[in-house]
Structure 1
Amino acid sequence: MKNNYFIYLLSFFTGFLSLSQEIIWIRLVSFAGMSVPQTFSFSLAFFLIGIALGAQIGKSICESTPDITINKMGYFFILAGIVDILLITIVYFFTQQFQISFTLLAFCILVCAMTRGIIFPIVHHIGTSKIKSGAQISNVYFANVFGSALAPILVSFVILDHFSTQNSYYFICFLTLLIGVICIQKNVIRMGIACLAIPIFLGLSQISNLIYILSKDSYKNNLQPHTVIENKHGFIQIYHDRGEEVVFGANVYDGKFNTDIFINNNDIDRAYLLASMKNDAENVLVIGLSTGSWAQVLSTMPNMKKMTIIEINPAYTEIVKNDHRVAKLLNDDRVDIVFDDGRKWLKNNKDKKFDLILMNTTWHWRAYASNLLSTDFLKLAANSLNSSGIIFYNTTGSLDAYYTAKQVFPFVYKYKFMALVTHQDPSNAYLNVKENLCQLKDYNSKKLIFKTKKQCDDAYKLIADNEFSPYEKSNLNSWRPLEIITDDNMITEYKYGKGL
């Protein structure tokens, strides 16, 4: 009976460890692929192929060796652990010299899944060789499925929130080797494996974080990030480049720390346009904190009483806290930062109304971008808008986003890649931009942002240099008929997305 329970335990860990490594590989591929949605199907396809090939090999082993034992099965666990270590080491050293290759990643996922796929047929064979009952077969399968189901929860929400992706990967490798050692009954072999494994893991721990290496060409060639923050929500990279601090989210440009319109290296003039067009706004909603630069500019609106910022990743407050240009945002008693999904928060707070909603939306081709660009979301946001309110969001160049906005709002204006949507004509508000710029002031010091009329004029000139025009008159040229973005079609992500 003890042996029976041990088989269930091995079946559990077979599923748990296999799915755990799959999650880590998907996370790495998603990072390398700039979070495009195709990375998931890419990873899953090769993992399933690998599992199928491994299962076929495992079946052949069981047929050729019907009396296979738990002792021998331990070697397959050890093989899987060693192969995993070799694969991640290959990726690390390859990426140091070259750009990341999706062919290499596909190969690694395939081999990883294949070596782990060998194990379950053997576990099933041993577990049901003496007891052929349906209950025994279902118990072995249940243990495996339970381990597979637990892995996404435990790894995605617990382990990755406390350990780096690389260390989580090594932990799975270590656990795989440990189970292999437990299965092997010969103490001499156990000691030998331990003597080899300990120095290997000590050596691996000295290797710099793999994410730094994968990030080295994301912003500029051979420029690694100065800081990488990892948690269950993803990655934040900070690059230092000639006095600028550039922030990437999951390997994609997110923004720069800057609130000075005369520097304007992050196109912060867009935030000043909004703040001066709607300077009478009292209740403001910002979806996405990022560097905090945009929110800091909006905080200078003289009549603002409350700003609610919805941010899914708490780590952004850490980087905001450490930058003098935006840190005061966290001490502004009018500002309330809520850690939640923006869409979910709006659904749960339909009673709240806002004069202004800002979304410096991420790239339209990234996974889940449709959640902020679709007609479904715009209708949800419109419900939270006062009658004279404005929604200002980044289309990142998607012409379909403008076309979609027009299906929900009567007035859609274009400024750079931003869409300004409202139920009332905003052209009169735009006429007051120059005057209202002179009224923006720092909340703490009460000092005006633009101290002289010349500074106001210069700031207005920077804004006016870019056309602010209705969607109908913006002459958006497209090589195809524009389409409406919905939650179901997700055209910006798949049909017209960036892909791999």
Structure 2
Amino acid sequence: MKNYKIIYLISFFSGFLSLSQEILWMRIISFAGMSVPQTFSFTLALFLVGISIGAIIGKKICKLRENLQLSNIGIIFFIAALVDLLLIVLVYFSFYFNGLILVLGSFVFISAMVRGIVFPMIHHVGANQVKTGAQISNVYFSNVFGSALAPLLISFVALDFLNTQQVYILICFLTLLISAICFNKKEFKFIIFLINMFVFFCLFLPEKLFYELSKNSYELNVYPEKIIENKHGFIQVYNSHGDQVVFGANVYDGKFNTDIFHNTNGIDRAYFLTTIRPKAKDALVIGLSTGSWVKVLSMMPSLEKITVIEINPAYHDLIKSDPAISRILKDRRIEIVFDDGRKWLKKNQNKKFDIVLMNTTWHWRAYGSNLLSQNFLHLIKSVLNENGVAFYNTTQSIDAFYTAKQVFPRVYKYKFFVLASSNQILLSEKDMITSLCELEDPLSKQKIFSGENQCILAKNEIMKNPLIPYEQIPAFPRKPELITDDNMITEFKYGKGI
């Protein structure tokens, strides 16, 4: 019965370290899979199967060796740490294979299987030390408590200070530390100590994992200039022919550009919006991204307040790196709030806006339906003034157009955007030119377009794509369906998939 309580610590870290690795593999596979929601179920299924098979192996070990010791558990922890280190190295070589997701999935299975071996052994050793029901319950509780604590400490704390590669190596370091605790012989402890010092040194190596995963995301064999990572996700920045291209979680997010005559990022859509409600006073922007769209809206002299809701504070830091866009941070009319768009809308139903803009992410990404659903659109409608407009990206989802029509009386298509309102929207080319000529830099008060001719050219750029009433949209390739928070059809039924 000597040191029988140490089994609780071992059980705790068995659950904590296993769930931590699952979270990190989920993050890696989600990134590689372009944030589609199916990566969650794919990773979870392989993890659970791996744990189950590992538990079966652990059970057989317990039957073969009745007199198991803590040192036997230490060997499994030691092997688990080495396997995980080997797997993260193999990730670097897996990018050259077709079916990357399947390769990464096999790594999840192997990692989970090795770690799954240890739990039956912990129960076996714990029951041998103290043969009571309370001992079994305490060992089990310790494991569950560790498993429950892992998502909180890893997802909300560790990943705000360290990147994924560092946290992964930290988990391997802790696994080796627990392995050393299980051994009594000093020579074993010393060997593990030396290995652990090497692993600890690896914590300070430059991040390579997600740079490799990002290598071909924008252009073949092109690495991002930088990657910003926090608990909310990843921001990749590429340089392409003088343009700074931004990806969010391995999916195209936008470019730093506000020049309508250098229309590489579809910025004409933002200028188009300035001509729809040129006398707007209050605007709500959900999603900051590069800040280019907010910059264009800020050129409207009539606007008194622009409220921007962004969930990831890293975009704020990213914008600081661009001299032109960063000027929005000095505009007193612009308030940037770091919050979830839906939560903020629910808390601020008393506020009203003339413009609500969402340059929504791809409809097939995880949580895409949260911004395209009928439920969310009702929230948007409730904060619009009588003549207010909602303008958001459908990313070619026909169901998004159909859903908008079920909420708003007037729905129009501009490129792949929905323009929705309670009132009819009429375009006058003369008024558009006037509106464009009124645009000015909010700080210097210098006009954006040097004269009427430039305003006309800008109008022509905008009008290359007509504003089409919903009733005149060409026939959809299939019957569109209503998007709700519950059915999530843009992500699953008609999503991209793995």
Q: Give the alignment's TM-score, normalised by structure 2.
A: 0.98
| 1:400 and 2:404 aligned | no
How far apart, in 2, do the equivalents of 1:199 and 1:171 lie?
12
1:201 CA drift (Å):
5.0
Q: Name the counterpart of 1:257.
A: 256
Contact kept, 8 Å, 1:387 with 1:423, in 2: the verdict is: yes
1:204 CA drift (Å):
7.2
How far apart, in 2, do the equivalents of 1:204 and 1:150 lie?
22
Q: Name the counterpart of 1:352.
A: 351
Q: Name the counterpart of 1:440.
A: 439
How far apart, in 2, do the equivalents of 1:256 and 1:313 lie?
17
How far apart, in 2, do the equivalents of 1:350 and 1:208 lie?
43
1:4 CA drift (Å):
2.8
Contact kept, 8 Å, 2:4 with 2:130, in 1: the verdict is: no
3-state secondary structure, aligned to 2:92: helix
1:3 CA drift (Å):
2.1
How far apart, in 2, do the equivalents of 1:62 and 1:227 lie?
49
Q: Name the counterpart of 1:450.
A: 449
| 1:104 and 2:103 aligned | yes
| 1:368 and 2:367 aligned | yes
How far apart, in 1, do the equivalents of 2:98 and 2:265 lie?
27
1:66 CA drift (Å):
1.1
Q: Name the counterpart of 2:272.
A: 273
Contact kept, 8 Å, 2:365 with 2:491, in 1: the verdict is: yes
How far apart, in 2, do the equivalents of 1:100 and 1:240 lie?
27
Report 1:136-215 matches (<5 A). 136-199=135-198, 202=201, 205-206=204-205, 208-215=207-214
Per-residue CA shift, 1:121-147, capped at 9, x if unaligned? 001111112433322221111111000
| 1:288 and 2:287 aligned | yes
| 1:238 and 2:237 aligned | yes
Q: Name the counterpart of 1:487.
A: 485
How many residues are paired up? 498
Q: Call closer, same or farther: CA 1:91–1:254 in 2, change over 3 Å.
A: same
Q: Name the counterpart of 2:47.
A: 47
Contact kept, 8 Å, 2:439 with 2:448, in 1: the verdict is: yes
How far apart, in 1, do the equivalents of 2:203 and 2:167 lie?
13
3-state secondary structure, aligned to 1:4: coil
Q: Name the counterpart of 2:3.
A: 3
| 1:497 and 2:498 aligned | no
Identity over aligned residues, as a percent?
56
Q: Name the counterpart of 1:23.
A: 23
Q: Call closer, same or farther: CA 1:430–1:127 in 2, change over 3 Å.
A: farther
Contact kept, 8 Å, 1:32 with 1:100, in 2: the verdict is: no
How far apart, in 2, do the equivalents of 1:243 and 1:143 lie?
55
3-state secondary structure, aligned to 2:105: helix
Q: Name the counterpart of 2:426.
A: 427
Q: Call closer, same or farther: CA 1:428–1:458 in 2, change over 3 Å.
A: closer
Between stretches 390-399 and 202-211, larger displacement belongs to 202-211
How far apart, in 2, do the equivalents of 1:430 and 1:341 lie?
37
Q: CA RMSD in A?
A: 1.4
| 1:218 and 2:217 aligned | yes
How far apart, in 2, do the equivalents of 1:412 and 1:405 lie?
7
| 1:63 and 2:92 aligned | no
1:207 CA drift (Å):
5.7
Contact kept, 8 Å, 2:389 with 2:419, in 1: the verdict is: yes
| 1:311 and 2:318 aligned | no
How far apart, in 2, do the equivalents of 1:371 and 1:74 lie?
45
Provide runs of 4+ in structure 1 moved above 6 Å.
none
How far apart, in 2, do the equivalents of 1:45 and 1:148 lie?
17
Q: Call closer, same or farther: CA 1:428–1:206 in 2, change over 3 Å.
A: closer
How far apart, in 1, do the equivalents of 2:88 and 2:203 lie?
10
3-state secondary structure, aligned to 2:389: strand
Contact kept, 8 Å, 1:310 with 1:341, in 2: the verdict is: yes
Between stretches 341-350 and 99-108, larger displacement belongs to 99-108
How far apart, in 2, do the equivalents of 1:2 and 1:445 lie?
77
Between stretches 123-132 and 110-119, larger displacement belongs to 123-132
Code of the aligned partner of 2:340: D
Contact kept, 8 Å, 1:359 with 1:392, in 2: the verdict is: yes
1:151 CA drift (Å):
0.2
Code of the aligned partner of 2:292: S
Structure 2 runs not aligned, ≥5 long: none
Per-residue CA shift, 1:316-345, capped at 9, x if unaligned? 011111101210100100000000000110
Per-residue CA shift, 1:290-313, capped at 9, x if unaligned? 000000000011110000000000
